[in-house]
Amino acid sequence: MKRSEHGFVVAEWVAAVAFLLIPTLWLVLSVAAFPERIGMAQLAADEAGKQIVQSNGTTTADLQTDAIQTVKDVLIANMKLHDDAAHPKDQDFLSKINSSTVAVQSFDKGGSTVDGLSPGGTVTVTVDLPTPLVLTGNPATAFCCKRAHTEPVDNYRSFGP
């Protein structure tokens, strides 16, 4: 018995590449950005926490302003971003680093929330960096990498006038 099948190899390869290989490559490229953004979010939270426990901020709002600026500085230094008119995509990304993506909470020795720094207490900084999909670049299709860092405030820290 003889089969009457005749394969068309070129069409099968084109279909395999179009429907299997290209989406797999897109997925691999998209996932590759996650470890970098997770590391950047953690580094930014660590540095912001260390910076604000040494600041003279008297309120949590002051501490949050300091934390936002520190996060931006860390991202500019480590992700090679530029905060100038010649790089509008970088400026757009940095403009999203604000009070909705950087949160600061201060606690006293007992763990109660306080406004500002408290000797012997802690400060927790949470950074939430958006990670857009590689090929779309659309912020609506972004995932967020959220990382937090808690930094202790020195028991004998004196605060300025």
Contact between 141 and 151 under an 8 Å Cβ cutoff? The reply is no
pTM, to two decimals:
0.76
- The pLDDT, as a whole number, for residue 16 is 82
H or E segment to which residue 146 belongs: strand 143-152
Which has more pLDDT, 93 or 122? 122
- The pLDDT, as a whole number, for residue 145 is 83
Contact between 53 and 151 under an 8 Å Cβ cutoff? The reply is yes
Helix (H/G/I), strand (E/B), else coil: 42 = helix
In the chain, what are the domain boundaries? 11-152
pLDDT category, 123, cuts 50, 70, 90? very high
Closest CA to 40 of 106, 108, 128: 128
Q: Give dist(CA 75, CA 53) in Å, integer.
A: 20
Among 52-61, 91-100, 130-139, 146-155, which is the least confidently predicted range?
A: 130-139
pLDDT category, 46, cuts 50, 70, 90? very high
Using one digit for the tens of pLDDT, what is the confidence trace for 48-84? Answer: 999 999 888 778 899 999 999 999 999 888 888 887 8
The conformation of residue 54, written as its DSSP 8-state character, comes to T
